Amino acid sequence: MRNVYVLGIGQTVFKKQPELTPSRLGEIAVKRALEDVGPEFNPRLIQIAYAGHCEGPSQQVQDILKFVGIAGIEMYNLENACASGGSAVHLLWRDIALGYKDIGIAIGVESLTRSKLAGGVIPTTEGDIDGLMGITMPGLFAINARRLMETRDISLEDLAYASIKNHRNAVMNPYAHYRKAITYEDIQNARMISDPITVLHCCPQSDGAAAVILCTEEIARKYTTKLVKIAASSCLSADYMSWDEDILATKIVQNLSENVCTAAGVDPLTDIDLVEMHDAFSPEEVYMYEVLGICPPGETKKFIHDGCAEIGGKCAVNPSGGLQSLGHPLGASGVRVVCEITSHLRGEAGERQQPGAKVGMAQMIGGGLVTLGTPAVGFLSILTI
């Protein structure tokens, strides 16, 4: 397999912006990714394109790329829950790594305020017994939170940690939906959603897009000296292990991390400098520290209190502000995490820069398998310099 490099990255602000169609959001992100490569780059060099989204037209990628003069190539639209954008990145990485194409673009886009989800509730699907009985996403992560408190000595303050940290990080991110620091008291006094989760433990509904151009090493060296390699990548669907075996195990994420880190030749416990991950709910990030392997088993509380997940810590987690504060346009987030990791590995993340970053992990999960209580699909990539 050939080495695959990130050539250009771009994204929009993530916030409620109903005045912009999904195609317009995608156009902005794509143009910024092209500008990131440089004025000498010809967009017509792009050989293949993927777009991940959960809502919107079935020809989303074609609607976006017509605005930048890219046409007459293979284009594919993907719907894969919150991992849609990550799936687009993975498929493009695979095409280039296996020698099918030399350069392409992956786009993630979502306008939740313009979609049928604009009412704020993702409806249950036919036959979703869990959802009808209250095991919604907030309900599931509330159960995880309670289990953390019982088995890891995690306090309510610890459960709120990710939200507090990520809101603080987002103050430094011009793309973030919320750029305001919050306190533990703010979180506990907010509207209750699913005990112990309040609305400030939850990510906002956002609109936005992100794009990443990937290519071979030969092409990358023509345009940049800041080479960022996707060392390994994978998308997985969950197995049929019921969550009551161990609700905190989340085997799909554990398997992704182990498989991709092994393929990339890195140890998640010692080698990862930063992670951008799915943190739709604050307790989700907290229990994922161990699942991803960046924290030793049973040491979540110590990991938090030692400041390991802070910018400047052992492994900065969601220095962008994460879904918690940057926002979560569903299909866009899997591409956006790759853009964020790339910025840090290039040393271009500004005030939120993780010092000396050399290895980063980009992760996103989505959906849920009925009666099994596990995410349906996951994406994970390791990026290195």
pLDDT at position 126, please?
A: 72
**Domain ranges in the chain?**
4-115+206-230, 129-202+232-384
How far lies 302's CA from each of 185, 208, 276, 288, in Å?
Answer: 22, 35, 20, 14
Strands (E), the chain: 4-11, 48-52, 74-78, 103-111, 192-194, 197-198, 207-216, 228-237, 274-276, 316-317, 359-366, 377-384
Is 82 in the active site? yes
Name the class of domain 129-202+232-384: alpha beta
Rounded CA separation 177/56 (Å): 21
Catalytic residue selected from 82, 215, 261, 339: 82
pLDDT at position 130, please?
A: 74
Number of H helices, E strands in the chain: 14, 12
pTM for the whole structure: 0.95
CATH architecture under which domain 4-115+206-230 falls: 3-Layer(aba) Sandwich (3.40)
Q: What DSSP character marks residue 281?
A: B
Three-state SS at 176: coil
Tokens 């019982």 locate to 150
DSSP string, 111-133: EGGGSTTTTS-PPPPTT-HHHHT
Q: Give the pLDDT confidence of 68-105 residue by residue, as tens digits.
A: 999 999 999 999 999 999 999 999 999 999 999 999 99
Residues 6 or more apart from 27 whose CB is under 8 A from it? Answer: 64, 67, 68
Q: Give the pLDDT confidence of 289-330 residue by residue, as tens digits.
A: 999 999 999 999 999 999 999 999 999 999 999 999 999 999
Same fold, 4-115+206-230 and 129-202+232-384: yes
Least confident interval from 243-257, 280-294, 304-318, 349-363? 243-257
Name the pairing type of β-strands 103-111 and 274-276.
unpaired
pLDDT at position 246, please?
A: 77
Q: With a cut of 80, say whether residue 135 has pLDDT above it.
A: no
Q: Give the pLDDT confidence of 196-238 residue by residue, as tens digits.
A: 999 999 999 899 999 999 999 999 999 999 999 999 999 999 8
**Arithmetic mean of pLDDT, 1-16:** 97
Q: Give the pLDDT confidence of 18-44 residue by residue, as tens digits.
A: 999 999 999 999 999 999 999 999 999
Name the pairing type of β-strands 316-317 and 48-52.
unpaired
- Token reading at 93: 């990485």
pLDDT at position 18, please?
A: 92
Mean pLDDT value across the chain: 93
Q: With a cut of 90, say whether residue 186 has pLDDT above it.
A: yes
Confidence of residue 277 (pLDDT cuts 50, 70, 90): very high
Q: Are 45 and 11 in contact (CB under 8 A)?
A: no
Q: Are 104 and 92 in contact (CB under 8 A)?
A: yes
Confidence of residue 374 (pLDDT cuts 50, 70, 90): confident
Burial class (CB in 10 A: 0-12, 13-18, 19+), 180: exposed
Q: Tell me which amino acid residue 22 is.
A: P
pLDDT exceeding 70 applies to what percent of the chain?
Answer: 95
Q: With a cut of 70, say whether residue 123 has pLDDT above it.
A: no
Three-state SS at 303: helix
Q: Give the pLDDT confidence of 44-57 residue by residue, as tens digits.
A: 999 999 999 998 88
DSSP string, 178-195: ------HHHHHHSPEEET
**Arithmetic mean of pLDDT, 166-178:** 98
Q: With a cut of 70, say whether residue 160 has pLDDT above it.
A: yes
Q: Give the pLDDT confidence of 107-122 residue by residue, as tens digits.
A: 999 999 887 655 555 6
Q: With a cut of 70, say whether residue 185 has pLDDT above it.
A: yes
